[in-house]
């Protein structure tokens, strides 16, 4: 026979389990850290169509995604991704998109600027900078373009990106193409 105390204990454990369950608001890895796939791949002719046409299916990182403390390096990564996705939209629409030969050049400029800004923010903290930020020149870009979590810019199944305001700070320079 099951006592009332046992049933109460079982209900308490069930409620605590449900309360602490990951219900999709913040995905975490095995170390209980926010999941921010980083670094983003360098735009190429092979992934450019996905960059321009699957943006709505790739994650954006709003403040509510992160825990209140202890995630500053993940917040910087999320911010870099948000900048990059916003700046890709500049490259994939409007004036730039009317010159299809310039879209890839624009996307590469956006990628480099987002990661350069990320590195500046990394060096403004007391923690060690991201490994690739410690390199210079072409070595930095090669580093950022290795061990990629999503090289093809594939959308996340069932995900629709929240509306994030356009990020200032990027201007495409067609003279650099």
* DSSP codes joined into one string, 82-138: HHHHHHHHHHTSHHHHTSHHHHHHHHHHHHHHHHHHHHHHHHTSSSPPPGGGGS-HH
Percent of the chain with pLDDT over 70: 82
Residue 30 confidence (pLDDT): 45
| 12 located within any domain | no
| 160 located within any domain | yes
| 4 located within any domain | no
Residue 104 confidence (pLDDT): 97
Does the pLDDT of residue 112 top 90, yes or no? yes
- pTM for the predicted model, two decimal places: 0.79
| 29 located within any domain | no
Does the pLDDT of residue 46 top 90, yes or no? yes
| 1 located within any domain | no
| 23 located within any domain | no
Residue 126 confidence (pLDDT): 85
The residue ranking higher by pLDDT, 24 or 3, is 3
Total number of residues shown for the chain? 177
| 16 located within any domain | no
Domain of 133 in residue numbering reads as 40-176
How many domains would you assign to the chain?
1
| 30 located within any domain | no
SS3 34: strand
The residue ranking higher by pLDDT, 163 or 40, is 40
């Amino acid at each position: 026979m099951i006592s009332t105390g046992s049933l109460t204990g079982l209900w308490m454990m069930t409620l605590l389990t449900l309360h602490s369950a990951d219900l999709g608001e913040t995905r975490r890895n095995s170390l209980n850290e926010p999941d921010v796939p980083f670094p983003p791949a360098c735009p190429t002719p092979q992934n450019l169509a996905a960059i321009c046409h699957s943006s709505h299916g790739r994650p954006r990182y709003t403040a509510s995604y992160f825990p209140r403390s202890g995630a500053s390096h993940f917040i910087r990564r999320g911010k870099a991704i948000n900048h990059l996705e916003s700046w890709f939209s500049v490259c994939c629409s409007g004036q730039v998109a009317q010159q299809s030969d310039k879209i890839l050049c624009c996307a590469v400029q956006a990628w480099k600027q987002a990661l350069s800004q990320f590195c500046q923010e990394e060096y403004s903290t007391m923690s060690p900078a991201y490994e690739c930020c410690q390199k210079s020149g072409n070595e930095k870009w090669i580093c950022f373009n290795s061990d990629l979590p999503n090289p093809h810019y594939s959308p996340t199944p069932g995900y629709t990106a929240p509306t994030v305001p356009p990020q200032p700070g990027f201007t495409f320079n067609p003279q650099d193409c």
